[in-house]
Each structure stands twice: as C-alpha cells, then as structure tokens.
Amino acid sequence: MLTVLACIPGDRLIDLRDKLPRTVRTIDLLVSVEPFYARLYVYQPGFPASAQSCCRNLPNSVLKLPVIDGRFCIRQSQPKMKWKMQVLGRPGESA
C-alpha cells in the first residue's frame, strides 16, 4: 500500500529495482512523446517537487536521473498522449 501512496494520485509508478544494478547511482533515460508538444514529468516517489520534464517541443529527449531506490513516478501533461522510455547504457556501468 505504501508504494501506491508514493506517487501523486493519477501518476504512474515505474519500478526498475530488479532491472538496475545496486551500484548504479544515475541513469540516462531516453524519453519519446507523441504529440511532440506534450510533456512527461519524472520524479522520485514521495518527492514531486524534484520532477524533471521532457521534451520541450521535441519528439524525444534524454533525462539524467538519480537512482535512489529504482522507482520513479510519471505524470503526463495530456491524458491520451503516447510515450516510451528506454534506459541508456553508460560506459563503465552495466544496466
């Protein structure tokens, strides 16, 4: 039940805890949105003020995010927008 309460109501929780090595402290996240003018906000659960936005009138963008526990909250600017995310590998780190 605490996991559900970590994000603002209506936002979506993405859990990457089992997919990221414990040694990873930051990730580069490639985000694609459609339509291009839509925005996607990513923040740490429980900290909505830390939200980073994507994509500023571009179809895609890269966000550099700190990894605290491997969970992230997602908020959409448009109710029917489409979006995709991909964690990009970084030299010296295995993801």
49-68 tens-digit pLDDT: 989 999 888 999 999 999 88
Number of domains the chain contains: 1
43 close to 73: Cβ distance less than 8 angstroms: yes
Asked if residue 14 is part of any domain, the answer here is yes
Q: Give the structural domain span for 58.
A: 2-88
Task: Write out pLDDT tens, residues 25-41.
Answer: 899 999 999 999 999 99
**Cα gap 75→36, rounded to integer Å:** 16
What's the pLDDT at 5? 58
Asked if residue 93 is part of any domain, the answer here is no
- b/e map of 39-63 (b: 16 or more CB within 10 Å)? bbbbbbbeeeeebbebbeeeeebeb
Asked if residue 94 is part of any domain, the answer here is no
Q: Is the pLDDT of residue 3 over 50?
A: no
**Cα gap 13→23, rounded to integer Å:** 22
Question: Which range, 2-6, 18-22, 32-36, 88-92, has the best average confidence (pLDDT)?
Answer: 32-36
Asked if residue 11 is part of any domain, the answer here is yes
